[in-house]
Amino acid sequence: MNEPRASVNNFDLARHAVVEASAGTGKTHTIERLVLRLLTEEAVPLEQILVVTFTEKATGELRDRLRRMLERALQKGDDYTPLLQPALHHFDQAPIFTIHGFCQRLLQEYALEQGQDF
């Protein structure tokens, strides 16, 4: 039996969020809504929102859906446009990674602190 989907509005934006569930239960949709809330309600720049997924396929799908979500939100031309336009403009720098991709990036960025040269 499937559990009811948690409301995106119940997530505390001041805390880290982990979204885990079975396939087809709306994880990607939930992440889209959380990112939109962070951008609009908290004015967090997209470059400061870390999104980590398990697979390359999930990462690619999430990138596509987040970009489309931003484009749709900007077409509304509402009060959030000044917050969303920079997010779309700098979308390619958004930290959306697989777990192994995120770890690799950390190792590369902090190689000197670890006494290693990558």
Per residue in 31-50, pLDDT tens? Answer: 999 999 999 999 999 999 99
pLDDT of 16 reads 77
More confident residue, 102 or 15: 102
Q: Give the type of residue at 88.
A: L
Would you state the structure tokens that stand for residue 44, as one six-digit string? Answer: 């967090």
Amino acid, res. 34: L
DSSP label at 53? E
Query: In the structure, what pLDDT confidence band is assigned to residue 95 with cuts at 50, 70 and 90?
Result: very high
- CA dist 62 and 41 (Å) reads 21
DSSP 106: H
Identify which has the larger pLDDT, 88 or 21: 88
DSSP 3-state of 98: strand
Residue 78 pLDDT more than 70?
yes
**CA–CA dist 8, 69 (Å, integer):** 15
Please give the Cα distance from 51 to 114 (Å, whole number): 24
- When the pLDDT of each residue in the chain is averaged and rounded to a whole number, the result is 86
Q: Which two tokens stand for residue 18?
A: 């982990």
For helices 56-75 and 81-89, the axis angle rounded to 10 degrees is: 140
Provide the greatest CA pair distance for the chain. Answer: 50
Confidence category of residue 117, pLDDT binned at 50, 70, 90: low
Statement: residue 1 has pLDDT above 60? no
Task: Report, as an integer, the average pLDDT of 69-93.
Answer: 94
Determine the pLDDT at residue 22: 79
